[in-house]
């Protein structure tokens, strides 16, 4: 049984390793819990903040990790998916066009996806904004959310 695979092992092993490296997530930025944020969609100021810092343009890449999409942003997407514990906070949001949003689905972004997004952002983010993706709800986020939902009542 094992002998049948032996001739292809020199090719299969590097492919398996490569696939594992390419799909590896970015450590230290993802959610610390798999519990879903009760807030599913970006709303109030959070949605506006994500769209505004991207200047209303899609933050997706043109080709894999290269270039920036030219389309207008119409959706605010969770970089680390909501279904996998990514919170609905500005630091986990990205502005996407319809096409990019549909293609991403609920994929957990690999490390190179996050790095490429942050590299693009250095070119267009306002100077006072952090380009880093951070899928954790901070005390500041909790406070901002409480303020926003009070105001909307
Ligand atoms: Zn796009």
Q: What is the pLDDT at residue 152?
A: 61
pLDDT tens-digit readout, 55-71: 999 999 999 889 999 99
Residue 100 CA to ligand 1 center (angstroms) comes to 5
Q: Which residues surround ligand 1, an ion (CB under 5 A)?
A: 58, 60, 69, 71, 97, 100
Alpha-carbon gap, residue 143 to 76, rounded angstroms = 21
pLDDT tens-digit readout, 15-72: 999 999 999 999 999 998 889 999 999 988 899 999 999 999 999 999 988 999 999 9
Q: What is the mean pLDDT of the chain?
A: 92
Question: Residue 136 has which token pair?
Answer: 């954790």
The HSE-up count of residue 80 (CA atoms within 13 Å, CB side) is 29
> Do residues 96 and 59 lie in contact, with contact meaning Cβ atoms separated by under 8 Å?
yes
Residue 153 has pLDDT above 70, yes or no: no
Residue 55 CA to ligand 1 center (angstroms) comes to 13
Q: What is the pLDDT at residue 150?
A: 77
Residue 68 CA to ligand 1 center (angstroms) comes to 8
Residue 70 CA to ligand 1 center (angstroms) comes to 7
Alpha-carbon gap, residue 17 to 48, rounded angstroms = 41
Question: Residue 78 has which token pair?
Answer: 């969770």
């Amino acid at each position: 049984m094992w002998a049948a695979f032996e001739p292809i092992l020199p090719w299969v092993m590097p492919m398996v390793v490569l696939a594992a490296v390419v799909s590896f997530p970015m450590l230290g930025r993802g959610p610390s819990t798999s519990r879903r944020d009760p807030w599913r969609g970006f709303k109030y100021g959070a949605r506006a903040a994500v769209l505004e810092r991207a200047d209303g343009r899609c933050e997706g890449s043109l080709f894999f990790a290269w270039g920036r999409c030219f389309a207008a942003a119409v959706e605010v997407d969770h970089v680390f998916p909501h279904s996998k514990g990514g919170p609905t906070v500005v630091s986990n949001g990205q502005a996407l066009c319809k096409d990019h949003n549909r293609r991403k689905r609920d994929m957990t972004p690999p490390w190179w996806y996050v790095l490429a997004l942050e590299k693009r952002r250095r070119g267009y983010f306002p100077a006072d904004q952090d380009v880093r993706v951070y899928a954790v709800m901070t005390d500041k986020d909790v406070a901002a959310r409480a303020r926003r939902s009070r105001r909307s009542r």
